[in-house]
Structure 1
Amino acid sequence: MNIQTIVLLILVPLLMWRVYARLKRMMARQQSVMSRHWTGLAVFAAMVLVPGSELLSQPASLGWLAVGTAAGTAYGIWGLRKTRYEVTPEGYFFTPNERLGMLVAMLFVGRIIYVGLEIFVNQGSANTLPRFTDSPLTLVCLGVFAGYFGAYSAGMLRWRYAMKKAAASD
């Protein structure tokens, strides 16, 4: 075993643990901020539309992205049902279901690390470097990730507008 392999064996679990710890803090009770929900919706929609536009000439790959996005959207709707919503004098707050969001995020991060390792391993060889959209599994992971968090952002916007409408009718 060479030194690069040993370093990777140490750094990859450390990186996964740090990402997990960071995401765990993000899955706690948080204030609902409309601009964050709009930004999330735009970013996660772009995460599907940009690769989707590149895959228009590859219907099978586009299908895998669509399957992942549909599954992630359904999972996001389920996640919204498991979310605790609070309206307090300080503002609007929500607590997402920690396990659902962590599962989706760690699946995507794990796949990104795998693709990065694949690129690193093939770096000195004559093999061409894989593109992010070459693997159906990567496209499904991307779709699930973007679908889940995009649907979650859209659901949070819907909840906030419903609260605004209810407050206006009182």
Structure 2
Amino acid sequence: MAIPVHPSLFVSLGIAALVVWRLYSRIRRMVGRQKLSAVRPWITICLFTWLMGMLSLASLAHPDHLAAVAGGIALGIGLGVYGHRLTQFEQTPAGLFYTPSAHLGIALSLLFAGRIVYRLAQFYLAPGPQVWTPSQFSGSPLTLLIFGILAAYYVTYAIGLLLWRHGLKPGAGVPLSGPENT
């Protein structure tokens, strides 16, 4: 006799697979050598600045939420500056490359993954049927703090990449900056 499987199980497994794939690709991008894109930093700056602005606007009615977003943004800016200082930059005939700090990239990825796992566990392990509004699912001050940290880190780091690229001199050599050259 076959055990009946509820269709929502397939949806949940599909979402879980998507989240795992995105986390894997995010961690790979945050710890390995990357070629500097002409477009990606601009997309990051525009998208995450817009998201931080919208979250801040939506949080105006809740001072604790606004404080969480603002605190996350302040921490994220500090981590972005610190991460930029730890980055290894190089100019080669093949193009411009940078290698972010693996420790910082992994720590930020684990912070994000941990919060997702915690919120999903809260949602799926709650006793009885739960109906959560979007504001209850994402409006936690801790979630807003973590999002503020990540968004501000990405924006600050992208700005640092653009500043590094615009400060280059043609034929300046291979290693341009990094922990040993700052």
Which one of the candidate residues 122, 130, 137 is aligned to 2:142? 137
Q: How does 1:53-72 map to 2 (within 5 A)?
A: 53-72=57-76
CA distance 1:120–1:87, shift in 2 (3 Å): same
Moved more, 111-120 or 44-53: 111-120
CA distance 1:126–1:117, shift in 2 (3 Å): closer
Which one of the candidate residues 24, 38, 46 is aligned to 1:34? 38
CA distance 1:35–1:123, shift in 2 (3 Å): farther
Q: Which runs of 5+ in 1 are unaligned?
A: none
CA distance 1:116–1:47, shift in 2 (3 Å): farther
- TM-score for both structures, normalised by structure 2: 0.74
Q: How does 1:1-170 map to 2 (within 5 A)?
A: 21-26=24-29, 27-122=31-126, 124-125=128-129, 128-129=132-133, 130-133=136-139, 135-163=140-168, 166-167=169-170
Kindly provide the amino acid, as one letter, of the partner of residue 53 in structure 2. Answer: L
- TM-score for both structures, normalised by structure 1: 0.78
Shift of residue 55, structure 1, vs aligned partner: 0.8
Paired with 1:132 and 1:51, the residues of 2 have a C-alpha distance of: 10
Paired with 2:53 and 2:167, the residues of 1 have a C-alpha distance of: 28
Q: Between Structure 1 and Structure 2, how many residues are aligned?
A: 158
Check whether the contact 2:71–2:145 (CA below 8 A) recurs between aligned residues: yes
Q: Secondary structure, in 3 states, of the residue corresponding to 2:116?
A: helix
Kindly provide the amino acid, as one letter, of the partner of residue 70 in structure 1. Answer: A
Identity of aligned residues (%): 31
CA distance 1:40–1:128, shift in 2 (3 Å): closer
Q: Secondary structure, in 3 states, of the residue corresponding to 2:39?
A: helix
Check whether the contact 1:20–1:102 (CA below 8 A) recurs between aligned residues: no
Paired with 1:104 and 1:98, the residues of 2 have a C-alpha distance of: 10
RMSD: 3.0
CA distance 1:108–1:46, shift in 2 (3 Å): farther
Kindly provide the amino acid, as one letter, of the partner of residue 160 in structure 2. Answer: G
